[in-house]
Amino acid sequence: MNSGKILVAKKQGVYVLKFVGDVRLTLCAALDIFVERMMSDRELKAVFIDLSDTEGIDSTSLGFIAKIAISTQKFCHWKPTIISINPDITRILLSMGFDAVFNIIDQRIDDAATLDELEILECSESQAKDKVIEAHRILMGLNDENKEKFQELVEMLETQ
């Protein structure tokens, strides 16, 4: 698998986040900061998360993607859109209950916007653990099945 990267763009209040390759915990600090900035943008009109070129994605990254949906519904009262053409990725999204908080489409969108790569940010082991806990708590909040899947992991991490 290709190491992952996240490409981003904004045009007229529409944000595009494109996840490429194998997206893992190492990208979550930068993603979290970007999401916080995006959510504070008063011009925010829509969010598209493009997983068309995603080969793999871990649950921590999924948690931060879910954070986008929860935030847009809370503050903007609309659902963001995920583009997923890979049946395996789509299956993961559906198993996590993402269809309840996202519009999921299976067709590529035009990459007309110039995308910039999010820079990987270094974080300490403690910071990484906090990100993992936060992401999994978000996933647990989506549905009872996720709560059951991740409860033990979160409890273990919190006691370390």
Domains of the chain (ranges; CATH) run 5-121 (3.30.750.24)
Residue 104 has pLDDT above 70, yes or no: yes
| Residue indicated by tokens 């999994």 | 136
Residue 86 is classified by DSSP as -
Q: Which pLDDT belongs to residue 112?
A: 55
Q: Which pLDDT belongs to residue 8?
A: 93
Expressed in percent and rounded to 5, the helix, strand and coil fractions of the chain are 50, 20, 30
The fraction of the chain above a pLDDT of 70, given in percent, is 96
Q: Which two tokens stand for residue 134?
A: 């936060």
Position 111 confidence tier, pLDDT thresholds 50, 70, 90: low
Position 154 confidence tier, pLDDT thresholds 50, 70, 90: very high
Average pLDDT over residues 128-141: 92
Residue 120 is classified by DSSP as P
| Residue indicated by tokens 């979160």 | 154
**Contact at 8 Å (CB) between 26 and 64?**
no
Q: pLDDT (tens digit, 9 = 90+) per residue, 52-84? A: 999 999 999 999 999 999 999 988 889 999 999
Beta bridge partners of 159: none
Residue 157 is classified by DSSP as H
Task: For residue 105, report the phi and psi dihedrals to the nearest 5 degrees.
Answer: -120, 155
**Contact at 8 Å (CB) between 140 and 151?**
yes
